[in-house]
Amino acid sequence: MADLKGKVLAGKILVQAQEAEEKTSSGIIIPDSAKEKPQVGNVVLVGADKKDEPMELKPGDVVFYGKYSGTELTIDGTEYLLMSQSDVLYIQ
């Protein structure tokens, strides 16, 4: 994980999406134009608790989120998603 100097606001998390699959299970190579947007990522930064919602995530957690969740950001050349904790569907 990158050593970021910034911080995120209360109730928000910064996620680095995992890479999309390059091949199917049968070995067929998937072209870039046909790849699905990843819905799994690693939590990089977490904000503080909100008044009515404690922060349940911590850096390093692997999370599943909705297909259209978050806002895409590029920080120091790396792509991240900034989203609310409530956008997370599952913590692995």
Q: pLDDT per residue over 29-82, tens digit each? A: 767 666 667 799 999 999 999 989 999 999 999 999 998 899 999 998 999 999
Decide if pLDDT at 87 tops 80.
yes
Structure confidence at residue 3 (pLDDT): 73
Nearby residues of 2 by Cβ (< 8 Å), 6 or more positions away = 16, 44, 75, 76, 78
The correct answer on CATH 3.30.70.890 for the domain covering 12-20+34-91 is no
How far does the chain reach from its first CA to its final CA, in angstroms? 17
The Cα angle at residue 34 between residues 15 and 17, in degrees rounded to 5: 10
d(CA 92, CA 75): 25
* Between 23 and 61, the higher pLDDT residue: 61
Report the distance separating Cα 45 and Cα 3, nearest Å. 10
pLDDT band at 20 (very low <50, low <70, confident <90, very high): low
